[in-house]
Structure formats: structure tokens, C-alpha cells
């Protein structure tokens, strides 16, 4: 029994905690979604978490990319985020500087890939890689007051979504965190061997009248 | 033969009912609205909360079609 995980033993027991210690994940992107996912999942007790990003921290990132401090301006995102995660984690946190294509060249096949990217083309590449290696992945996207999350097992991203290039939209940290939280919960439950709804698109949004809605679509 | 069409997210348009018998026919009808054209080019589509992969899908009276614009950011 490791005291660090005592509340998780209460949740799902020692065997499940030991199961988690055999699992590896890769989080593609160390921006807003990557920061929230990385910080939340670093305490889960996984064997290893790969953090992949080619980009450096800029001042306009920091408001929503909650692992970064003002003095991190100009530093490698995956390295800074991995350091923050490692400080609170018993898992091995491995930063990889580069894009997703670079990651695929390293012959690393994790148990699950988490999408924390900001474009549709890379999500298609993640989908292709996941299918080739017969592993699932979790899609998560957010803008303004809406977001989408889906656990892809049998469904295929580009069969349903059109791959286009779109300009960035406004976003705040709480909305990123809300979407990341669903992605992280699906991840946690899946890796712990608990049931989740797979191949279902969750569309989360606030209506103009203030109502918070979650619509679900079969993929 | 009425199909309900809902527009999600930033399209910001009230739902409408149309008399169409296929997704292709529906698409052609919606494309007459120039404001919708740009959304249709990039959006995903569902019928009765099932995402569709091709526009050849038939439609039945009472079906609900949703137009889902992409969400890109992270």
C-alpha cells in the first residue's frame, strides 16, 4: 500500500491500482488541454506518460495553459509541463519535443493516446496511427463555450468529421478544463478496467440562455 | 414527409422542417442559403443522433438531422 494512492485504493482497490501501474499513455499536445490532462493524470499512478509538443510557451498561452508560469515564456512546453507533472507524480513522465509525426517515428506504442492538439489534421494522423497499432484514443476539442469528447475504439475520425483548416477561436481556462476533465475521466475509467461509452461523441455546450447541455451521438 | 433540421453551435440558426427524402436532397436544399453554405462544407452530420458517413443516406418522415460544425481548439 502506497499512502500516495490511499483515496484511490478506497475507490477501486489495490488490484486496480497495480493494473494502472502497468499502463502507458501519450498525450499529444502540451497546450491548454495538455496542461489540464497532464496535471490531472499525473497522480493516477500510471507507469509512464509521454508528453509530446513541438512548441514553446508564449505569453498569450499562459491564461489557459495552467501548468505554465510567467517566467516560462520561451521554454519548451513539453519539458516545462513534464517537470510540473513529475514534481507531483510517482509515474515516469517523459517529454518529447517534436510533432506527432516525430512521435510515430520513435516506435512507442502506448496503451492509449490522448488528443490535446488544436487542429483536425493531426487528429486524423492520431486516428490513423491508433488504427495501425490497434489501440484506442480519446478525442477532445474546445472553443468558446463548447467542446467535444469521444473515446475512439472502432469508429474512425475522418469518416465522420471533415478535415479542414480553421482559425483559432476565443477560449477560457475553465472551459478547457471542463472538456479535459471528461477526457481524463474516460481515460481513468478505461485504464482501470471500468465501463465507459466508446465510439460516442459527447458534445458539451452552454446555451445562450445559460443551460449547460451534453448531447450524445453514436459514431 | 417532414424532417427536422437542427443547427448546433456557432451556426446560430433556429431549427427548421423540410420535406426531403434523402440527405443529398436536404443538402441541396440547405445550400440555397448562402449563410449555411460555408458551414455545410466543414460540418459533420447526424441522423437521429447517429453520425453519418455518406450523403446517400435516405431520410424518413420524423427524422432529426443535426449539423455539427467542427470544434478545433485544444
Instruction: Say what the pLDDT of residue A100 is.
Output: 98
* A51/A82 Cα distance (integer angstroms): 7
pLDDT tens digits, residue range A40-71?
999 999 999 999 999 999 999 999 999 999 99
Query: Are the Cβ atoms of B42 and A203 closer than 8 angstroms?
Result: no
Give the domain range for residue A56: 3-218
Query: Are the Cβ atoms of B72 and A146 closer than 8 angstroms?
Result: no
Query: Are the Cβ atoms of B71 and A141 closer than 8 angstroms?
Result: yes
Q: Please tell me which residue of chain B has the smallest CA distance to A218.
A: B50
Q: Please tell me which residue of chain B has the smallest CA distance to A145.
A: B9
β-bridge mates for residue A97, sequence order: A53
Chain B contact for A41 (CB, 8 A cutoff): no
Instruction: Say what the pLDDT of residue B39 is.
Output: 94
- Cα separations in angstroms, A167 against A116, A119, A143, A147: 17, 9, 11, 16
Number of structural domains in chain A: 1
Q: Which domains does chain B have, with CATH numbers?
A: 2-68 (3.10.20.30)
Q: Please tell me which residue of chain B has the smallest CA distance to A37.
A: B74
Q: How confident is the model at residue B56 (pLDDT cuts 50, 70, 90)?
A: confident
Chain B residues near residue A115 by CB distance under 8 angstroms: 74
pLDDT tens digits, residue range A121-157?
999 999 999 999 999 999 999 999 999 999 999 999 9
Nearest Cα residue to B69 out of A152, A161, A215: A161
User: Around A133, how many Cα atoms within 13 Å sit in the side-chain half-sphere?
Assistant: 17
Helix (H, G, I), strand (E, B), or coil: what is residue A52? strand
Q: What pTM was computed for the model?
A: 0.96
SS3 for chain B is CEEEEEECHHHCCCCEEEECCEHHHHHHHHCCCHHHHHHHHHCEEEECCEECCCCCCECCCCCEEEEECCCCCC
Query: Are the Cβ atoms of A168 and B49 closer than 8 angstroms?
Result: no
A127: CATH: 3.40.50.720
Query: Contact A45/A24 with Cβ under 8 angstroms?
Result: no
Instruction: Say what the pLDDT of residue A122 is.
Output: 97
Q: How confident is the model at residue B1 (pLDDT cuts 50, 70, 90)?
A: low
* A38/A78 Cα distance (integer angstroms): 10
Query: Are the Cβ atoms of B74 and A148 closer than 8 angstroms?
Result: no
Given phi > 0 = left and psi -120 to 50 = alpha, else beta, which region is A89? Answer: beta
- How close, in Å, is residue B19 to chain A by CA atoms? 24
Out of A160, A205, A219, name the one closest to residue B9 (CB).
A205
Out of B42, B49, B74, name the one closest to residue A141 (CB).
B74
Rg (CA), chain B: 12
CB contacts under 8 A, A 103-122 vs B, are 115-120
Out of B43, B50, B74, name the one closest to residue A217 (CB).
B50
**Residue of B43, B55, B67, B73 to mutate, interface with A, max A Cβ within 10 Å:** B73
Higher pLDDT, A164 or A96: A96
Query: Are the Cβ atoms of B71 and A147 closer than 8 angstroms?
Result: yes
Chain A contact for B68 (CB, 8 A cutoff): yes
Length reported for chain B: 74
Query: Are the Cβ atoms of B71 and A171 closer than 8 angstroms?
Result: no
Amino acid at each position: 500500500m502506497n499512502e500516495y494512492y490511499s483515496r484511490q485504493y478506497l475507490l477501486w482497490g489495490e488490484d486496480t491500482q497495480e493494473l494502472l501501474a502497468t499502463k502507458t499513455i501519450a498525450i499529444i499536445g502540451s497546450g491548454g488541454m495538455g496542461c489540464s490532462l497532464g496535471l490531472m493524470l499525473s497522480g493516477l499512478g500510471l507507469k509512464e506518460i509521454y508528453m509530446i509538443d513541438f512548441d514553446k510557451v508564449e505569453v498569450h498561452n499562459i491564461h489557459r495553459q495552467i501548468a505554465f508560469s510567467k517566467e516560462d515564456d520561451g521554454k519548451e512546453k513539453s519539458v516545462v509541463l513534464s517537470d510540473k507533472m513529475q514534481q507531483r507524480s510517482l509515474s515516469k513522465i517523459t517529454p518529447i519535443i517534436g510533432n506527432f509525426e516525430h512521435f510515430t517515428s520513435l516506435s512507442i506504442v502506448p496503451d492509449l493516446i490522448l488528443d490535446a492538439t488544436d487542429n483536425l489534421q493531426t487528429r486524423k494522423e492520431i486516428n490513423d496511427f491508433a488504427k495501425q497499432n490497434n489501440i484506442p484514443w480519446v478525442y477532445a476539442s474546445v472553443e468558446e463555450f463548447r467542446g467535444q469528447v469521444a473515446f475512439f475504439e472502432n469508429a474512425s475520425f475522418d469518416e465522420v468529421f471533415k478535415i479542414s483548416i480553421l482559425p483559432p477561436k476565443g477560449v477560457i481556462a475553465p472551459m478547457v478544463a471542463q472538456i479535459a476533465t471528461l477526457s481524463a475521466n474516460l481515460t481513468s475509467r478505461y485504464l482501470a478496467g471500468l465501463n465507459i461509452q466508446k465510439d460516442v461523441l459527447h458534445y458539451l455546450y452552454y446555451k445562450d440562455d445559460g443551460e449547460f447541455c451534453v448531447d450524445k451521438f453514436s459514431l | 414527409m417532414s424532417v427536422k433540421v437542427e443547427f448546433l453551435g456557432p451556426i446560430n440558426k433556429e431549427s427548421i422542417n423540410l420535406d426531403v427524402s434523402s440527405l443529398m436532397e436536404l443538402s441541396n436544399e440547405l445550400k440555397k442559403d448562402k449563410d449555411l453554405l460555408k458551414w455545410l462544407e466543414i460540418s459533420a452530420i447526424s441522423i437521429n443522433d447517429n453520425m453519418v458517413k455518406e450523403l446517400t443516406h435516405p431520410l424518413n418522415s420524423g427524422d432529426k438531422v443535426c449539423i455539427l460544425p467542427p470544434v478545433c481548439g485544444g
